[in-house]
Structure 1
Amino acid sequence: MNKEWIKVYIAAFFEVFWVIGLKHADSFWPWVGTIIAIIVSFYLMIMAGRKLPVGTVYAVFVGMGTAGTVLAEIMIFSEPLQWSKIFLIGVLLAGVIGLKLVTEDKSDKGAEA
């Protein structure tokens, strides 16, 4: 794994925070944190998209962010645990991992990327 994919994973991590922030922020400081998370998330995704295929970067970013957000709502905000949700998150993550595995990494090839 190279640093471009690490940027995508970190961007997805911050996506979870800004998505939760959009729903739960109700005062100044939570909104500041939400805006910072949006900026960090999109900056890292854009930087990774310069060297990796944009479609794959976006799919991994959104898939991981979606899975993280659903899991955070279950664990932190006491959303009801439904096995169908867990199963579908697993299917989503399997698709995202599969897409990443079959995508050629152009950033390893040097200057022609």
Structure 2
Amino acid sequence: MNWILLVIAGIFEVSFAACLGKAKEATGLEAIYWYLGFLICLTVSMLLLVKVTQELPIGTAYAVWTGIGAVGSVIVGILIFKEPATFWRLFFISTLIASIVGLKIVSH
């Protein structure tokens, strides 16, 4: 169950990064809504991370959480914000995914 919560926390991390990107593009009340979304996603992500670190090793949980956030943010950047999807960018994201899976495999 903790691993599922950790993945959900990582998804909320991606969401708060996406909200920041959308807020940067918005103005007025729309920007305020995106910043509000950022604060909500940040809060949920952190609370879930705190919860899972009570059972999972902090180093592993934090690395997986940030890895999910990094990979997800790059994917969101490519799909939503039209950032470049170069070979090397995708290659290094793939190695990051392999590292996250490896940490999961070797953790108790």
Instruction: Give TM-score, length-normalised by structure 2.
Output: 0.90
Q: 1:59 matched to which residue of 2? A: 63
Structure 1 segments unaligned to the other structure (5+ residues): 105-113
User: For this pair of structures, how many residues does the alignment match?
Assistant: 102
CA distance in 2, matches of 1:92, 1:13: 16
Question: Pairwise CA RMSD of aligned residues?
Answer: 1.0
Matched letter for residue 19 of structure 2: G
Contact 2:20-2:34 within 8 A present in 1 as well: no
Which structure shows the bigger proportion of residues in helix conformation? 2
Is residue 35 from structure 1 mapped to residue 39 from structure 2 by the alignment?
yes
Is residue 81 from structure 1 mapped to residue 85 from structure 2 by the alignment?
yes
Matched letter for residue 16 of structure 2: W
Q: From 6, 12, 17, give the equivalent of 2:4.
A: 6
Shift of residue 80 of structure 1? 1.3
Identical aligned pairs, as a percentage?
37
Structure 2 segments unaligned to the other structure (5+ residues): none
CA distance in 2, matches of 1:80, 1:99: 28
Instruction: Give TM-score, length-normalised by structure 1.
Output: 0.86
Matched letter for residue 6 of structure 1: I
Is residue 69 from structure 1 mapped to residue 67 from structure 2 by the alignment?
no
Q: 1:19 matched to which residue of 2? A: 17
